[in-house]
């Protein structure tokens, strides 16, 4: 497809396009199910009336003010995690290279925790702390892994070590904090969409309206970097600057999720690889990864609320499912 007198062009893969339409349909169906489900079941016609601004006040409050923002946040935050995972797996050229494995999520969590526990910061201060923590951690991991260049597997190993140290530091901070604040921070640290609403939805949507288009704009240079730095330079891509911009965008997406809902693990690890296998593409693709991540987080949140008869943080559900996938992936990569 070509726009602006051939100044802007991109290639649409038929299989990927069909997959994205299917993912959108599944996401819409699951979103509808989430609006119907709950301790106060609501019929489909009542949900439709509530979305149109009509019907009973009680039903409108439950659907529009409580359930709809949570559903929207699950989709948007899942898309952010899927995109961030695709970025780092592309840069490291390794399916283990996701922000929660190589320490960037832990760094964002550390920055947010310091703002919460030490400075008693609000939502926006926590978001800035998460972004700063993620960027500092990414810089530290990159420098520690540097040996006349950065090799993907070395970056992953260094990141796992940094993530372990940061996790220990986070546990120490929570233990030394005031009991009430520490309990709130620990619950938030499990990764949960409980209690989130329109107040969090609007800034998340605005930030993604900036971050996702910038990421998509760099999708072609990102794929060229997968061919190797020499090939990228030969095709006119500034490898150093492109890699830096992609890392900043990936960390910003991870920090946005961490600041909004706490650290949610394994979506960034699983979504790009699932999307890659379904599209049968040579490398990870951003849009399919984003849609897969949104669907996965929405499904995990629905299961956390309704599947086991007790409401759990969504992070508990993603860890339970993603841990099995991580072990399989680790064994598979170790055999290569």
Distance CA 253, CA 86 (A): 11
All structural domains of the chain with their residue ranges: 36-334
Instruction: Give the residue among 182, 130, 140, 132 at the shortest CA–CA distance from 163.
Output: 140
What's the residue count for the chain? 336
Residue 335 pLDDT: 67
Residue 79 pLDDT: 95
Residue 22 pLDDT: 93
Instruction: Give the residue among 72, 202, 189, 69 at the shortest CA–CA distance from 130.
Output: 189
pLDDT 10s digits, 222-243: 888 877 777 777 777 777 788 8
Does the pLDDT at position 113 exceed 70? yes
Does the pLDDT at position 329 exceed 70? no
Distance CA 96, CA 20 (A): 24
Give 4's pLDDT tier (boundaries 50, 70, 90): low
pLDDT 10s digits, 123-141: 778 888 888 898 899 888 8
pTM metric for this prediction: 0.88
* CATH for 36-334 (3.40.50.10190, 3.40.50.300, 1.10.3470.10, 3.40.50.2300): 1.10.3470.10
């Amino acid at each position: 497809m070509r726009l602006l007198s051939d100044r802007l062009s991109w290639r649409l893969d038929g299989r990927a396009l069909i997959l994205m339409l299917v993912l959108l349909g599944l996401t819409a169906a699951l979103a509808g199910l989430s609006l119907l489900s709950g301790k106060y079941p609501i019929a489909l016609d009542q949900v439709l009336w509530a979305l149109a601004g009509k019907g009973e006040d009680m039903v409108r409050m439950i659907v529009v003010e409580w359930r709809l923002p949570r559903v929207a946040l699950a989709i948007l935050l899942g898309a952010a995690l899927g995109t961030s995972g695709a970025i780092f797996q592309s840069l490291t050229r390794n399916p283990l290279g996701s922000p929660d494995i190589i320490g960037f999520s832990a760094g964002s969590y550390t920055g947010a925790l310091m703002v919460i526990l030490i400075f008693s910061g609000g939502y926006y201060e926590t978001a800035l702390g998460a972004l700063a923590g993620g960027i500092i951690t990414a810089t530290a991991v990159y420098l520690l892994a540097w040996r006349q260049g950065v090799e993907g597997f070395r970056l992953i190993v260094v990141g796992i070590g940094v993530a372990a140290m940061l996790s220990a530091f986070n546990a120490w901070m929570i233990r030394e904090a005031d009991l009430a604040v520490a309990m709130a921070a620990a619950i938030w640290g499990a990764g949960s969409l409980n209690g989130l609403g329109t107040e969090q939805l609007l800034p998340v949507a605005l930030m993604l309206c900036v971050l996702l288009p910038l990421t998509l704009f760099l999708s072609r240079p990102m794929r060229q970097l997968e061919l190797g730095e020499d090939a990228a330079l030969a095709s006119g891509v500034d490898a150093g600057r492109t890699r830096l911009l992609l890392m900043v965008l990936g960390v910003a997406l991870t920090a946005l999720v961490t600041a909004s809902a706490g650290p949610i693990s394994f979506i960034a690890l699983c979504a790009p690889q699932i999307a890659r296998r379904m599209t049968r593409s040579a490398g990870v693709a951003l849009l399919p990864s984003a849609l897969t991540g949104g669907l996965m987080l929405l499904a995990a949140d629905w299961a956390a609320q309704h599947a086991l008869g007790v409401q759990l943080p969504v992070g508990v559900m993603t860890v339970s499912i993603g841990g099995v996938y991580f072990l399989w992936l680790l064994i598979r990569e170790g055999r290569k």
